Structures are given as C-alpha cells and as structure tokens.
Structure 1
Amino acid sequence: MSWTGKFLRIDLTNGSVKTEELNRAWARQYLGQRGLATKYFAEEVDPKVDPLSPANKMIFTTGPLTGTAASTGGRYSVVTKGPLTNCIACSNSGGFFGNELKNAGWDMIIVEGRSPKPVYLSIENETVEIRDAAEFWGKTVWETENGLKARHQDPMLRVATIGAAGEKGVLYACIVNDLHRAAGRSGVGAVMGSKNLKAIAVRGTRGVTVKDPDRFIKATIEQKKVLADNAVTGQGLPKYGTQVLMNVINEIGAMPTRNFKEVQFEGAHKISAEAMHEPRATDGKANLATNGACFGCTIACGRISRMDPGHFSITSRPQYKEPSGGVEYEAAWAMGSDCGVDDLEACTFANFMCNEHGIDPISFGSTLAAAMEMFEMGVITKEQTGGVELKFGSAEALVKMAELTGKGEGFGLELGQGSRRLCAKYGHPELSMTVKSQEFPAYDPRGIQGMGLTYATSNRGACHLRSYTVASEVLGIPFKSDPLATDGKAALVKAFQDATAAFDASGICIFTTFAWSLENLAPQIDAACEGEWTPEILLEVGERIWTLERQFNLAAGMTAADDTLPKRLLKDAAKTGPAKGLTSGLEKMLPEYYQLRGWTTDGVPTTETLKRLQLA
C-alpha cells in the first residue's frame, strides 16, 4: 500500500519501455524517493561512470506519501551521478509533477542510455510513449511546458523539462516543473540533456491508496494542525517565505557577502522579505504579488512576484511583466549579497531567467561572485566577458550574465561550468567557495559553525538541505544551540542528516521539520505503508541512506580529503558581527563526526557499521 508497486524502465538508446515490479524488500529498508532510488542507482551504476555518458542513469522517483493527503505530499526527486560534483546527486522538487506521476501509477522512472535524437516521454496512466521533441529542442522551459500542453490539448498536463542550459551542458542545469519549481542542484538537467531527453509530460488519474485510510486521515489531520499552530510553518513561511531569513542571518553575521569576503551585507534590507512587501514608488505595487503552494501543501511558502514594468531589465521584454516565481532566500542571497547587488528587481529578473532557462540560482550566483572577484583583481577582463564589467554591485552585470548562462552563450558558457572549474582556469582555485565542486548556500560557517560541518560532509557537495542546523543554531528548533560554538555540533549534524534523509524518502517537504520530528512523521507512514514504522525505524532508514550515499562516493573516488572547506573560511576570520575574529572550527568537529558515524579516521564506514545497517 501507498507504493504503487511498479516502475518504468526507459531505454532511450533502443527506444524501449518496460514495466517492472518494485523490490518490496528494498522499499522496507529505504522507504522511497531519495532512499529507494539511491539503492537502485547504486546497484545498477558503476560509481566511476562519466556523468554525461550514456552509461549514467537517472531516476525520477516519488515517495510513499507523494500524492496522498499528507501535508506537502507532492515531492519527487531525481537521482543520478552529478556532473558538477562527480558525486551521488539527489535533487528534490515540489510543485505538482510528483503527485501526477504517482497518480499515473508509477513509483519511479529509470532512464537509461541516450536517444539518437531529441525526445520527450509521454505518460498517461499506463500508456507510455517516447515521442519526437525536435520542435522543442532549443526552446525554453516555459515554451516547452506550454507547447506540450497545447500539443496534448491538456492544460492539466504536468511537465518536467530542461532549457538550453541542460542541452548545452551547463553543469548546474536544473529540471524545472510547473514553470518555477525545480530539481535544482548538482546538474541533473545536464544529465537529462546529455540523453537528448527534453521533457517528461505526465497525466495521472488513478489515485493513491494507503494501508489504513481512516487512521491515515486522522494522522494527517492531527499533523496539519501542528503545522498550522507553529510560528514558522503557520505564520512566518506563509507570509514571508524563506526570505524571512535575510535580515535575521545578516544581523547575526552569517550572511556571505562578495564571495564570502565579508559576513554582513549593507544592502540586505533592500532585497529582503520585508522589501518584497513594500509598495514601489514607481507604480504603487509590491514586488510580491501573492504566495503560492505546491500540491497538498498547507504552508504555502512560495513567492509569486511581479516586476516593476519600468525596470531596465524588462522594458523590452513584455513576457516578464506577468507574475511568476519570485526570489526565495537562497536565490536572493546568491544573486544579491554574494554579488554585492541590492537591486531587488534585478534579482527577480535573474531569478525569472534561472526558471525560464533551467539553471540553479545558488550555483549561478556563487560562480558569478567568484568571477566578479577575479574581475576586480584584473584576472578576468572585459575581453573575456564580452565587454561586460563584472564588478561587485553591478545589477547590469547580474542581468546580462543570468541570460547568457541560461542560454549557454558567450561568457555564460564559462560561468556554466561552476566556480571550481572557472577559478582553476584563471589560476585562483582558492576563490571557489565550494565543497566537492558544489557552491555554498547562504550561511557563512564562521557565523554558524554547524553549517561548516554540514557543508564539508554533505554527500552531494555543499548543501543546506541535508542538515539544516540553522534551525537549532539560529531559530531554536528543536532546541537552541550556540551558533558560534563547536561543541556538540557533530552529534547535531548527524542527527539532522539522518532525520532529513528519512523525510526526503517519505515524499514530503523538508520544511515540515520546522514543526515536525520523526514522532510526527511515523504515524503517517505507519498508517500508509505495509509493515511497522516507528521513529526509531525511520531514523535507522535515514542513517542507512546516508551511509549508502557515502559508500557510492567513496567508490567514485572521493576521500576524507574532500570533507573540507575553502581556505578563506578556515584561515580568514570574520571581520564584523557576532562572529568577528572567528574562523570555521571544522578541524575540531570532523573527527568527532567520523567517530559518531562509526567511520574510520579516514572517513570510511567500518565493517561493524555496515553490518548494523544491513549494507554488508
């Protein structure tokens, strides 16, 4: 129950479509989505595979709560080997695509090989076809989604697609569904492009069943009330979205600014959630038009923005005058403070570009920030940039480079390789703010120490969504810990990583964890799925997933040397704010973390640990 019990295997090389039965034993060990797909991927793919070769596979996967009445039960993930990182990649997305896939009767889609020509996958319940996509190749995400809906004469069709960035191999290209929701990090869109797969279009009407409907509905109603009564999920996120963090993180001195040279941004208030609510002097309207929700979501944190029609970025672009997906905190930080830009409209336009063309705004903004630093050093010149002055604070440069990178043109092609490769090319690898080649999110590890350990040990490269210790260190959830202290952070990070993996495997949104623990999730899983599901069992599932991902990365060639941070964060102390004088205390936390995980001092899971988790 709750699992459909079957998945699709699509071989693009020979054009075959097969239906296979789900491995129920694996489902009991890994639950679903991130966990179950990672198990399939690790079993079927050589860890040393070239991510952009036909031998790499990609798995579109739902969780057991996807498509159900559980709050936020609309998530899906894409699991593959990421071209940006050469690590295991699992990118999670909301919107309505995941629900549609589950309601069509499929737990997963395993995509193999490479099509000789551009194609898209059409799914209408059990009818599955590989169709020609020649007319959509080269089109934007928005054009492709609207075009497929018109071709199928179905406005309710749900589409996950790539833009030119994915087609041209931008290494942090995303897969975008519902116009502005994305499987966003690690370059999953580039893998899709390498397979000549433009899109997946799904229509599902079969419904999802659960083990005990009465108990399930009772559990979901109880847990929705917990979300509604919580200050973050019931008030802060609906009103302000994740942008509620902008001024908060800036005030505590953990706002990475100008490629992490500084920890506070003087223009933060101009690009904050509060600024999005303020009426503009030019037209009397606010940047924020409304909030939005994904399938089944009772939080509704999404931002729908309308731009100032007189802003320089859109004066000749009427299509951008309509409301669309606005900046959330990570995008506002990456394209705002990290680049020194305090123009909210420019950040909104760049975010529209990322959505329309399918690129990760975090990696784009961080890579642009590194390029700006090298430009101001004289290492990169106007000759390389096509005449654009890449100076910190330049809204014009942000707007231009967002478009060039999204389209895979000019200097945008260089930015599209990510900051590690860009900085190495120009002789300054130390300026790349990455872990395992993936760009940092919006929290400086000098001001929030737990996030330094989180970044360094993340299996998919620098990431905040694998262990959001900001919840504890800043917001006091589930308890308050000192953001400037290193003591106890190894245990905190491990606990967040394992619990987060279980939530990701379930098919619901990680934002529920501001109010829920595994104690809240377990009753819903137990009522929906076969077998017994307790908080303790789910925590073990999470640890098993984490350790399996680690095993894959080790086999791919990663070592303990990759569990580190850039020298800037380890050697250069913060100059302002509460963290003034501090660097990251990673060297104190990492050995304790390895020990708590049951790994050797070289970061390798011991035989005893693997046996305990049924991985050996």
Structure 2
Amino acid sequence: MGWNRKILRVNLTAGSCTEEPLNMQWVQDYLGSRGLATKYLVSEIDPCVDPLSPANKMIMATGPLTGTMASTGGRYTVVTKGPLTGAIACSNSGGFFGAEMKFAGWDMVIFEGRSPKPVWLYIENDRAELRDAAGLWGKSCWETEEQIRHVLQDPLVRVSSIGVAGENQVLFACIVNDLHRAAGRSGVGAVMGSKNLKAVAIRGTKGVAGIRDFGAFLQATTAAKKVLADNAVTGQGLPRYGTQVLMNVINEIGALPTRNHRDVQFEDASKISAEAMHEKRESDGKTHLVTNAACFGCTIACGRISEIDKGHFTVKNSPKYWGASGGLEYEAAWALGAANGVGDLEALQYANLICNEQGMDPISFGATVGAAMELYEMGVLDDARIGLPAPFGSAEALAKLVEMTALGEGFGKELGLGSKRLCEKYGHPELSMSVKGQEFPAYDARGIQGMGLAYATSNRGACHLRGYTVASEVMGIPLKTDPHVTEGKAELVKAFQDATAVFDSAGICVFTSFAWTLADVQPQIAAACEGDWSMDKLNAVGERIWNLERQFNNAAGLTAKDDTLPPRLTREPARTGPAKGMVNQLDKMLPQYYQVRGWTPDGVPTAQTLQRLGL
C-alpha cells in the first residue's frame, strides 16, 4: 500500500513521543513526503510564526516509494518554515536514512516545541524515546554519528544530525545523514538546533508494508530501471562524472556565474571540473576521485567519494581529513569555486568537507562568501573587519572563512546570516545574489532565461531543484528549447515545477527525471499504492502541492514583489559567451507565468484555481 499509515509526534517541550494514524484522505490529495508534510505543516502552524521559535514545527517525511525497489527510493524530506527566507522550507536528502524510517514502520515524524536541554531521538521499530544529548552538543555531524553508533553498539543504525552550525543557528545550516548526504537548503538545520534536537537515530527491521500489486510493481520498476540504464545522462554521464559533468558544459554556454555573478564564464572552470577530478595529481600521482557511490536503491550512483591531497595547505596538519569522504557535487564546486573565483580543487574539497562535517549548505555559504569578496574588493569590507585579506580567487580566504562560519567565530557569524542580511548590513543589498533570501545555485539566468523565471517563482527561494529547465534549455530533455528566448518558458517552468513536486512526494530522486517523465513514475505509484493514481490525478497532485506552498508563503507575508531577481541579472548584460549582451527578461515571463498558473496579476491563486484543486 506504499504507506505505513502511522506518524510519530515528538513534543520536545514535554519530552513525549506519541503514535498517530496517518491522514489517509490527505494521502490521496498529496501523495507523501514533500506534499503530505507540507499539508501537515500548513494545517498546524501560523504562517507568520518566527521560524526559530518553539511554535514552528519540523517534519521529516518519507514517500510511498521510499524504501521500495523503485530506483532511487531512498529519499526523505524535511519541511518547516525556513529561517533564511521566512518562506516554506522543504529540503530533500538521499542516503539511507529515509529508507530506515520506512523500515521502522513510520511515514513521518513531527517535531514540535523546544526541549529544555539538548536531546536526540532514538527510534527502533515501534519504540521511540528522547535521550540526553549533553555529551553530543558541540560535536560535529561526523562525531555525533560515530558516538551514537558506539552508544547503541549498532553499526547499522542510520543517523541524521546537525553540527555546530545548526547549534549556532547559522541560517543556512543543514541536516546531515550518512556523513555526507544532506537536507541541504533553506536552514532546516537551524530550526533543528533551535529546538535543542541534536540528532535522530533510526533502526528499522520491518521492511516495507504490503505493496498493492507486487507483480505489477516488479514489472513497472524493472521497466523504469531499464529506461535509466539506457539513457545517456543517467546510465553513463552521471555514474562516471556525477553532477560535476556540468561544470565545463555550463561554462561553455556562458551561464556559469562567476565572482558573485559579475561574469558568466570562469577561466579556471576546467581546473575544478569533473574531468579534473579524474586526472592524476602531480604531487602524489593519485586522482582526486576515488569512486562513485549510490544512495539506497539507486541504479544511477552519481555520488562522489574523493580523497584530498595530503600535502595541500588546508590539511597537511590535519590527518582526520586525509581519508576518502564525500566529494564535490556540481553545485558545491561552483559555489565554493567559480562564485568566488577560486580555481583550487583541493581547497574546494576542503571547504566541502567542513560543510559536511559541521552541517552547512555549501551553496549558500559559497555564494555568501562571493558577496563578501565583492564587498572587500569595493573597499566596503577590509582585512580588519573580516580578519584576513579576502579578494576574489583567494583559496586561503575560502578555507579560513568556512572554518570561521562553521564554528561561529569572528566574521564567520556575519557570513552565517546569509548574503541578503550581510549585504543589507553593509549598505549594498543589490549585491546579494538571492531570491527571497536564498542564494542562487550554479546557473546564470542571463544565459538560461527559463532558470531566471524558475528562481524568481520558487516557493523556497532561489532553487534549481524546483523547476530544472536546464534539462530542456541546455540538454534537450524532454525536448530542446532555446535558452535565450522567453517564449514558452512560463509553460515550461510550470510543467517542471508541478512534475518535480510529484517526484519529491513519491520519495524518489529528481535526477531520475533526466530519463523519466511522469509516465514512467505513474505505473510504479499505481502498482504500489491503493487508490486511483492516473496521470491526470498525479498532474493535479503536483499542481495542488505547488499552490498550497504558495498559499502558505502569501499568508506568511510574501507577495509578487518577492518574485524577483537581483538588478545585476536584469540590468547588467552578460559580458562574454553566447549570451553576451543579454539580461534576464523576467518582466516578460512573469505575467505569463501568473496567467498560466491561474493566479491574479498580483501572484495570488484565484478562487477558481483553488476550487479546482480542492484548496
């Protein structure tokens, strides 16, 4: 049936853990994971709540395909009100933690209130208890996971935790599971820290509750896996090169944001690319990349496991970083590298390790450093204020600033607020490359017009995973569209946004959408889950989730004015590459988007749209 039909409600203030039945009517409307958790959150909190107050709630949720034999069925979602944006925060993670939650018999865990002292939650099948985390507070995610396994004497327990960044409420702190998988964006780790919740450890031995039609499910998942294997991106490109395969590609088309988006091409892109990760180093004859890796049930295996050069200045006196660990993904490599003009692959790996170790989103961190470096070059910030020289291109500054931010030291406390608050404090709000307070990922909206619209309208702030039009505009998936034109982009963005909501809510990875359409996902859901799961219904589910998130944001005080881009992208033309002379034409696309969505010109869903979607 796809669901365990039960929720764990953890009242941190009272220290209680209570079992509840899952609302199966809501399941039919919102499917699971992202959609269902959003429905619960919206129903239980005031949209105007302070994200870091006890009145905010945080939900960890699985989907109906999580833990099953569906390829990539290892995802779980963390939904809350985000401290970085003040909007709905929904952060998705892979690894093995989500599947373990399902195996323990739970669809969702709802955290409410605030514990009077640091605690961690232990779940073993039907049993759940809060334990004292005094000995874990102040520890990194890596140390926390190791200590919990030692305490439980169970090497198979799965742990999701915050590091010092989450404890200090760095506004882009994330929640890390399996050492280097993360619910990464929007500051969900800061919310967890505000609740004095250090970690969640789960051991499940129940397996997945009965699939509705096992024969049909086996057939559907087998066929879908073949589609992934036969596809050039999911069957060849991602396994070999990971998401880093995009570095040189995006640079060549003139859409690689460089030095805080002042430029659209990075002269050292090849030095921090997937290809560079495969090359042997002169220093020790080893390659940066050790192997690829897969999350639970994944047949793509895009993950990177890398080993840093032991002689590099960042780690030569720190043996704990010498072993193989989570390697650079494209977004992190871009944010830590091109966004700051840093072309030192080992320095990027070091900064990435610190982000994993202490639980920080490398995208927001790197992009915030880019803003600080521009302020430094303008003379607004100086060595005394930052604590060291921080010009564009300084690997030394990057390495020091990641340590300071993770541990909340000196200028790192200011970086931990994100680029919006940093740039406002120093009188240059226009230098924050963000939407709704969340920093851009690795695609310049002048060279890829549709991404500008996707960023501006994303419900969780600037995001590539909410409507990845790069697939169409650059890679020709599912059909090729011209990245430099605005026509048809409103329809394209809406289609991607609605479909992604379904992928997320099913409990599968959005990377499958390089090969799958909803038509590949639908037979898997229909075979696994009771009820009618036709294509029409799934399309409606995706649209309903998007509009519910929008309603929450509107009620939280966000308006059409927040569906915007920094002036740099709409007024300063790209200086090089195929998009030279172009700006993003959001003003042309946004009114069309509102119309296609069935919203008013002010970006509010109309009564007819709400009625049609049952909202």
Q: TM-score range by the shorter chain?
A: over 0.9
* Partner in structure 2 of residue 611 of structure 1: 611
Q: Which amino acid aligns with 2:379?
A: G
Residue 404 (structure 1) shift: 1.0
CA deviations on 1:309-351 (whole Å, 9 max, x unpaired) are: 1000001100100000011100000000000000000000000
2:436 is the counterpart of 1:436: yes
2:290 is the counterpart of 1:289: yes
Q: Which amino acid aligns with 2:339?
A: D
CA distance in 1, matches of 2:213, 2:175: 34
CA distance in 2, matches of 1:499, 1:195: 33
Choose 532-541 or 565-574, whichever is displaced more: 532-541
CA distance in 2, matches of 1:262, 1:524: 44
Residue 383 (structure 1) shift: 1.1
Q: Which amino acid aligns with 2:211?
A: V
CA distance in 2, matches of 1:410, 1:275: 34
Residue 106 (structure 1) shift: 0.2
CA deviations on 1:29-67 (whole Å, 9 max, x unpaired) are: 000000000000000010000000000000000000000
**SS at structure 1 position matched to 2:72:** coil
CA distance in 2, matches of 1:294, 1:393: 33
**SS at structure 2 position matched to 1:128:** strand
Q: Which amino acid aligns with 1:609?
A: T
CA distance in 2, matches of 1:445, 1:102: 39
* Partner in structure 2 of residue 227 of structure 1: 228
* Partner in structure 1 of residue 403 of structure 2: 403
* Partner in structure 2 of residue 488 of structure 1: 488
**SS at structure 1 position matched to 2:471:** helix
CA deviations on 1:196-231 (whole Å, 9 max, x unpaired) are: 000000000101121111111111011000000000
* Partner in structure 1 of residue 544 of structure 2: 544
CA distance in 2, matches of 1:551, 1:481: 30
CA distance in 1, matches of 2:184, 2:539: 26
* Partner in structure 1 of residue 237 of structure 2: 236
Residue 8 (structure 1) shift: 0.3
What does 1:286-325 align with in structure 2 at a 5 Å threshold? 286-325=287-326
**SS at structure 2 position matched to 1:393:** coil
CA distance in 1, matches of 2:76, 2:177: 11
* Partner in structure 2 of residue 351 of structure 1: 352
**SS at structure 2 position matched to 1:505:** helix
Residue 408 (structure 1) shift: 1.6
Residue 605 (structure 1) shift: 0.3
* Partner in structure 1 of residue 131 of structure 2: 131
What does 1:177-216 align with in structure 2 at a 5 Å threshold? 177-208=177-208, 209-216=210-217
TM-score by length of 2: 1.00
* Partner in structure 2 of residue 375 of structure 1: 376
What does 1:51-450 align with in structure 2 at a 5 Å threshold? 51-208=51-208, 209-386=210-387, 388-450=388-450
CA distance in 2, matches of 1:173, 1:22: 29
Q: Which amino acid aligns with 1:95?
A: G
CA distance in 2, matches of 1:180, 1:113: 28
Residue 505 (structure 1) shift: 0.4
CA distance in 1, matches of 2:204, 2:371: 44
* Partner in structure 2 of residue 592 of structure 1: 592
* Partner in structure 1 of residue 452 of structure 2: 452
CA distance in 2, matches of 1:255, 1:345: 20
**SS at structure 2 position matched to 1:583:** coil
Where do 5+ consecutive residues of structure 2 fail to align?
Answer: none
Residue 385 (structure 1) shift: 1.2
CA deviations on 1:143-177 (whole Å, 9 max, x unpaired) are: 00000000000010100000000000100000000
Q: Which amino acid aligns with 2:223?
A: E
CA distance in 2, matches of 1:293, 1:156: 17
**SS at structure 1 position matched to 2:314:** coil
Where do 5+ consecutive residues of structure 1 fail to align?
Answer: none
CA distance in 2, matches of 1:46, 1:327: 38
**SS at structure 2 position matched to 1:43:** helix
Q: What's the C-alpha RMSD, in Å, of the aligned pairs?
A: 0.4
Q: Which amino acid aligns with 1:19?
A: E
CA distance in 1, matches of 2:394, 2:49: 40
Q: Which amino acid aligns with 1:251?
A: E
CA deviations on 1:448-481 (whole Å, 9 max, x unpaired) are: 0000000000000000000000000000000000
* Partner in structure 2 of residue 526 of structure 1: 526
CA distance in 1, matches of 2:162, 2:391: 30
Residue 253 (structure 1) shift: 0.2
CA distance in 2, matches of 1:96, 1:254: 34
Residue 256 (structure 1) shift: 0.2
* Partner in structure 1 of residue 472 of structure 2: 472
**SS at structure 2 position matched to 1:234:** helix
Residue 410 (structure 1) shift: 1.4
CA distance in 2, matches of 1:560, 1:314: 46
**SS at structure 2 position matched to 1:2:** coil
Percent identical among aligned pairs is 69
TM-score by length of 1: 0.99
CA distance in 2, matches of 1:276, 1:479: 30
CA distance in 2, matches of 1:585, 1:385: 36
Residue 116 (structure 1) shift: 0.3
CA distance in 1, matches of 2:159, 2:404: 24
CA distance in 2, matches of 1:210, 1:458: 34
**SS at structure 2 position matched to 1:502:** helix
Residue 590 (structure 1) shift: 0.2
CA distance in 2, matches of 1:506, 1:350: 33
Q: Which amino acid aligns with 1:16?
A: S
CA distance in 1, matches of 2:379, 2:133: 44
CA distance in 2, matches of 1:59, 1:225: 34
CA deviations on 1:491-530 (whole Å, 9 max, x unpaired) are: 0000000000011000000000000001000000000001
Residue 406 (structure 1) shift: 1.2
What does 1:574-593 align with in structure 2 at a 5 Å threshold? 574-593=574-593
Q: Which amino acid aligns with 2:136?
A: F
CA distance in 2, matches of 1:141, 1:389: 30
In the comparison of the two structures, how many residue pairs are matched? Answer: 614
**SS at structure 1 position matched to 2:2:** coil
**SS at structure 2 position matched to 1:36:** helix
CA distance in 2, matches of 1:439, 1:124: 37
**SS at structure 2 position matched to 1:86:** coil
**SS at structure 2 position matched to 1:35:** helix
